[in-house]
Structure 1
């Protein structure tokens, strides 16, 4: 069976996005027949000290961006934007992070052009019974939490090592939350409230200086959110009101999103409070939630409260982030190159195909965008 060629793109149209999907130093760990199917954009290795002639020697060759889109079966582009989708050939394959859920336009182009899209953010390890086991790249999540907190504190000129002591709250403790806690502690912030949907006993060994509480939804109290611990329970908004830094690391269910603070509640936060929305989704977590950028990283929720939601914060440490990302996806390159007939044998790849020849495979995209389940998935 004919193997697929992969065009690895270096340039990104996303503002200040510098991460790349494959670290050049990892090429030597791939089998020669896989490397021979990979083509890199001109200048891809330059930021890492690898000239084009050396990269060409270790791969299928070097091409311009336009040539990659015109010639390759699969386009490996970490953070595609709408224009990238529009430049893909009909029935071409894209492997990257499309974040379709809240991007109706990119979804529509993928449907119209009969694209096949493998979503990196949906690539996870599955157990034998088909249940979620773990992310393929927990370090990527850790870097998101770490970089968001580190960059946000730099933006407001604060640290816990010098100046008045700071108190922080972290909501959620998956890989992103772990990175956030690591960043807070690296900045000398050790008074940390950790609020998770899991009971504290399920979190393993307690961290020094970190108080654990469980997020509780009280349906009898109008769905009000509480933080429950061995000392009783406190309204979540009240707990957050005592903190200088508030970090959201909760992966939301788009069909039943949680709101931790409204704009009205934000007025009761401490003057100078900083909210770091690592897991930012429009209107979820916080009533005002929306992504910010490296160019304008902060949004003023009130006269004294600032909100940071840079949606690609690991680009702050882009070289390290490229290494971590590359380590995560490298094991799947052989499967991708082998062709679509082989994808079904790998659940991580097969279940990450969110659009297959224009047909949307992820029902959450259809429900969130209010689309018909049948092709062409008309918006209802």
Structure 2
């Protein structure tokens, strides 16, 4: 199967690519000869089209030609227009988010597309599932903090001492902690849904607390003596909140509601790295690099949802390192559990049941939508 490898993006300021040009020579010949790269793909990295043509044996093509003519597309961050442009029956492999975006799912159904979602690529290590893009997630936390602090003009090495709260303790949060510390912000508390004794790979010098849902649908901190206090009391007292939680779109966690906004009596920077509309914070929505901050009461809300593009070269390297082992399975159409489990839609048939649940669709093809609640257009 020939695959179009797209370099440019319709998403603003998105500069990451799926394959780092320096890795092309490492791809087995029988695989790379099926890769058709976008014209100019390697130029930002100092690699010419002639060099890529020599390595693959294929001429490079314009973006429009690739999307319209090839039946498989490897693209980092496709947007709705990309799904509209690809031909019927095309396979699209990238960060797709078709669970949250009804129109993308509908295009997948109507055009009988196959959608393979990077966000759903997990490797089974025996005892646990490991997200294959964990390094990119770490970079997201790192870059989100770096950019947000720059935009609002803060640094912990200068000015007053700052306190930070981190929601969850996965790869995103680890990256955020490294970035906060590099900027002199060291008074950091992590709030995780696990008991603190079960939090693996703890970073020395960080305070950890468990939080859990209460009977009223809010969230409390569970102290070691078993007592509980509302987590909102802690969040309203810090200078910086970083959200790194992996949300279940069918049952999202909301930690700060509209009624809580007035409780922030002093300025608080909320860095919503795991940004999804209406999740984590009632007012959450993706912001842009052009307008990264929304002022909501005393909250400075940062919701850029593709922060690793700030360090696009390093991010491309990390993405490429993940994808290279799976290229052969996709190109040569070999069975691979990681790829199979990441298929949201296959030839127009919904495989990921979360799409049906989140979008409130019928379970029967063509999966008509039953209501418009919670659904992003």
- Do these two structures clear the TM 0.5 threshold for a shared fold by scoring above it? yes
- Gap regions ≥5 residues in structure 2: 371-377
2:371 is aligned with 1:376: no
SS at match of 1:117: strand
SS at match of 2:56: coil
Instruction: Please point out which of 97, 100, 106 is paired with 1:99.
Output: 97
2:240 is aligned with 1:242: no
Match of 1:261 in 2: 256
Deviation per CA, 1:159-179: give whole Å up to 9, x if none. 111110100000100111111
Deviation per CA, 1:5-34: give whole Å up to 9, x if none. 011011111111111110000112210110
Distance, in Å, in 1 between the alignment partners of 2:111 and 2:81 is 13
Match of 2:311 in 1: 317
Distance, in Å, in 1 between the alignment partners of 2:231 and 2:71 is 49
2:296 is aligned with 1:301: yes
Distance, in Å, in 1 between the alignment partners of 2:99 and 2:265 is 34
Distance, in Å, in 2 between the alignment partners of 1:359 and 1:205 is 40
Q: Is the 8 A contact 1:101 1:368 kept in 2?
A: yes
Change (3 A) 1:373 1:205: closer
SS at match of 2:361: coil
Distance, in Å, in 1 between the alignment partners of 2:318 and 2:307 is 14
**What is the total number of aligned residue pairs between the two structures?**
368
2:184 is aligned with 1:184: no
Distance, in Å, in 1 between the alignment partners of 2:109 and 2:52 is 35
Aligned-pair distance for 1:202? Answer: 1.7
**TM-score, normalised relative to structure 2:** 0.94
Distance, in Å, in 1 between the alignment partners of 2:265 and 2:171 is 28
Match of 2:374 in 1: none
SS at match of 1:238: helix
Deviation per CA, 1:206-249: give whole Å up to 9, x if none. 43431100012222xx1331122336543100011111000111
Match of 2:205 in 1: 209
2:261 is aligned with 1:271: no
Q: CA RMSD in A?
A: 1.4
Distance, in Å, in 1 between the alignment partners of 2:240 and 2:193 is 20
- Gap regions ≥5 residues in structure 1: none
Aligned-pair distance for 1:70? Answer: 3.5
Deviation per CA, 1:301-354: give whole Å up to 9, x if none. 11x211001011111111111111111111100000012xx2xx3110001110
Q: Is the 8 A contact 1:75 1:93 kept in 2?
A: yes
SS at match of 1:90: coil
Aligned-pair distance for 1:276? Answer: 0.7
SS at match of 1:101: coil
Instruction: Please point out which of 334, 338, 347 is paired with 1:348.
Output: 338
Deviation per CA, 1:114-165: give whole Å up to 9, x if none. 011111111111256xx85101121111011111111111110001111101
Q: Is the 8 A contact 2:141 2:174 kept in 1?
A: yes
Q: Is the 8 A contact 1:77 1:95 kept in 2?
A: yes
Q: Is the 8 A contact 2:133 2:319 kept in 1?
A: yes
SS at match of 1:68: helix
